Amino acid sequence: MGSDPHTAHTGRDRRELAPGAVHVPGWLSPDQQRELVTACRGWARGPAPIRHTKLPRGGVMSVQTVCIGWHWQPYAYTRTADDVNGARVAEFPDWMVELGRRALVEAYQDATAGDTYTPDTALINFYDGQAKLGMHQDKEERSSAPVVSLSVGDTCVFRFGNTETRTKPYTDIELASGDLFVFGGPSRFAYHGVPKVRPGTGDPATGLSSGRLNITMRVTGLDG
Ligand SMILES: O=C(O)CCC(=O)C(=O)O
């Protein structure tokens, strides 16, 4: 470790895939993972229950999603889950803002990186063993603040691409339980997706007996 800037502070195997795109394996402790699973399980029940999002052209996403702070549906944010049950989504909790700030400090190895970061929405995705997420950009936000991604449960293949096209060049990495991935700066609008989940790789001690949970915090840049 020693003077390696990627590991000097934490000893973790931190890796910058592209400018602004950083993977920090094993960032969340087992207790934090369990707490996230419990919180997400509550949000999955309501006020707007988790669902397979319907796409405008008639398709249905294999991933199940529930949102907090703002509700995302293709391709806009609203306060109410109009494509689910019309309920206002749960508040974005202060503890998650704090977690997002700490994530940026860790990813960018900069004590000030989280100072002005106030995420106001999170998409919480649940993947069963067959679920996938196609290459896409997170671009409904009117802000270029970083996206903070946390994973719990089964390992997945995460495909991180470029900002121009949903095709190559891209890099495939594995996101395992407890991993942090941040994409900001020049990588904020990079295409990314999840081509594969590896069933049975998660530890049931997280509270997830199967499947994969992913939380992406974002700043919408919206008022109201
Ligand atoms: O599940 C992941 O790791 C990525 C999630 C994602 O890309 C999204 O919610 O937009």
pLDDT confidence of 37, banded at 50, 70, 90? very high
Distance 214 CA to ligand 1 centre (A): 7
Does ligand 1 have an atom closer than 6 angstroms to the CB of 131?
no
Report pLDDT digits (tens) over 86-130: 999 999 999 999 999 999 999 999 999 999 999 999 999 999 999
Judged against a pLDDT cut of 60, whether residue 25 lies above it is answered with yes
Q: List phi, psi (to 5°) of 34.
A: -65, -40
- Nearest by Cα to 48 from 36, 28, 64, 32: 64
Pick from 77, 100, 75: which is nearest to 184 by CA?
A: 100
Is the pLDDT at 10 greater than 60, yes or no? no
Residue 2 is predicted with a pLDDT of: 33
| Closest to 107 measured CA to CA, from 217, 194, 223 | 217
Report CA 66 to chain centroid distance, whole Å.
12
Please tell me if the CB atom of residue 155 comes closer than 6 angstroms to any atom of ligand 1.
no
- Reported as a pLDDT band with limits 50, 70 and 90, residue 194 is very high
Q: Is the confidence at residue 31, as pLDDT, over 70?
A: yes
Q: How confident is residue 1, by pLDDT bands cut at 50, 70 and 90?
A: very low
For 144-161, the pLDDT digits (tens) are 999 999 999 999 999 999
**Which of 83, 66, 87 minimizes the C-alpha distance to 75?**
83
Contact 22, 181 (CB under 8 A): yes
What average pLDDT score do residues 6-35 get?
Answer: 86
Mean pLDDT of 44-65: 97
Q: Measured in angstroms, how far is the CA atom of residue 7 from the centroid of ligand 1?
A: 25
Distances (CA, A) of 181 to 51, 73, 107, 156, 196: 24, 23, 8, 13, 17
Q: Which helix (H) or strand (E) holds 45?
A: helix 30-45
11 pLDDT more than 50: no
Q: Ligand 1: which residue has its CA nearest to atom 10?
A: 138
Does residue 14 have a pLDDT over 90?
A: yes
Question: In this predicted structure, what is the pLDDT of residue 57?
Answer: 95
Examine residue 195 and say whether the peptide bond preceding it is cis (omega within 30 degrees of 0).
no
Residue whose Cα lies nearest atom 1 of ligand 1: it is 214
Two structure tokens written together for 136: 């896409």
Q: Whose CA is nearest to atom 3 of ligand 1?
A: 214
* pLDDT at residue 9, as a whole number: 44
Which residue's structure tokens are 């991180």? 160
- The predicted pLDDT at position 5 comes to 40
Nearest CA to ligand 1 atom 8: 216
Kindly indicate the confidence band of residue 30, based on its pLDDT and cuts at 50, 70 and 90: very high
Whole-number Å distance, alpha carbon 128 to ligand 1 midpoint, is 14
d(CA 217, CA 197): 21
Residue type, 210: S
Strand 21-24 and strand 180-183: pairing? antiparallel
Looking up tokens 């609203």 gives 78
* Per-residue confidence (pLDDT) for residue 12, from 0 to 100: 66
Distance from the alpha carbon of residue 192 to the mean position of ligand 1, in angstroms: 8
pLDDT at 224: 85
Residues 6+ apart with CB under 8 A from 5: 109
Atom number, ligand 1, closest to the C-alpha of residue 214: 1
All structural domains of the chain, each given as residue ranges with its CATH number in brackets, are 15-218 (2.60.120.590)
CA dist 132 to 129, 156, 157, 164, Å? 9, 9, 10, 21
